[in-house]
Structure 1
């Protein structure tokens, strides 16, 4: 996904340089042999609802964590590299100059990406009999 976006930015750079300041969250869930794998970049999370035995209500259970600066672990990570698709001007100095608008420029040269497209991956074993309602929450 990141490579496709990066190639698109390269093709559009001279015509639409501001595209290098655009980014997005990405959240993917895959179930394989009774295990739910969640890959996440950005400020989004998976919150399924499940019906527990003997209960009439649906219980929400957050299965992934947002990459959001309101969390201590993410603030610590921001001192290093955070996760996001896009925002190529923060990943390569190739896009950190004019014609990109000046307020996006990182003033000091950087050699390593400030953002990383690699997702955090979490695993959750599913019950054999379960009813699941998935809700994906995100912020803009």
Structure 2
């Protein structure tokens, strides 16, 4: 089976050919008197010939199907629709293309590749359904695309502990906040050399950036976290912000502000986070604005 599938991956590069709605006036069989029957009596595939017929019973043709022919392989799909043609039509448009894309990326076809093609098709269809629901309800649904590299996150603390099993102080709670070595919250950065190289960790000329004992291995890394996502038709906008915003506002709250207000000056509207920061300190935003620079960082 796998050898046949591997040949399919190399062979089926021809444009998608679909036969679910074939006209009977293309010379196949003009003698048919059934207006709800579409067929192709005989055509060629890689190892011989095939015949194809579709009969419509419902008011709308819910079932879809396709045949993809290549030099050494043939792909056949029969998609039994129910409750409407939307899913079966979507599968017809995307499943084979996903299969070819993933096979091309991996250089072969296997059971896992087939599962991945099904999963990609399913994800795409659910995204389409979600976008339709959103457009009808006039609501926005926020999606967090990146993960915070901050010791406040349990998964980050667990990662650090697993990398430094011999260091019981790799993460320390200080002033109600989890910090790496009791100093810094972020776990990835460019710089902070004293937390990466022993020769910098004991330099007394920089008392602020100084450790009481040498580090055995880097506790921070400059390794980036890379996330790739193909933009979809229902994507509306992206919000880029530092943790100063997200400490006081959820992704959903920020998305609703952007979505429900005019675009001009929209970034300034996110200053609502400052009002929330003031509220947490039991003060008004006007009072917060009067706090001097340098001191204000303890509030917002």
> Could you tell me the TM-score, scaled by structure 1's length?
0.52
1:106 maps to 2:211: yes
- State the number of aligned residues: 89
> Root-mean-square deviation (CA), in Å?
2.5
Residue in 2 that maps onto 1:120: 225
Within the candidate set 190, 193, 203, 1:85 is matched to 190
Map Cα deviations across residues 68-101 of structure 1 (whole Å, 9 max, x no partner).
2222111112323732222111111232212111
Residue in 2 that maps onto 1:56: 138
The answer for unaligned runs of 5 or more in structure 1 is: 1-49
The answer for unaligned runs of 5 or more in structure 2 is: 1-130, 165-186, 245-300
Residue in 1 that maps onto 2:157: 75
How far apart are the structure 2 equivalents of 1:85 and 1:57?
38
Instruction: Specify the SS of the correspondent of 1:123.
Output: coil
Q: Which has the higher contact order (CA 8 A, sep 6+)?
A: 1
Residue in 1 that maps onto 2:234: 130
How far apart are the structure 1 equivalents of 2:151 and 2:219?
15
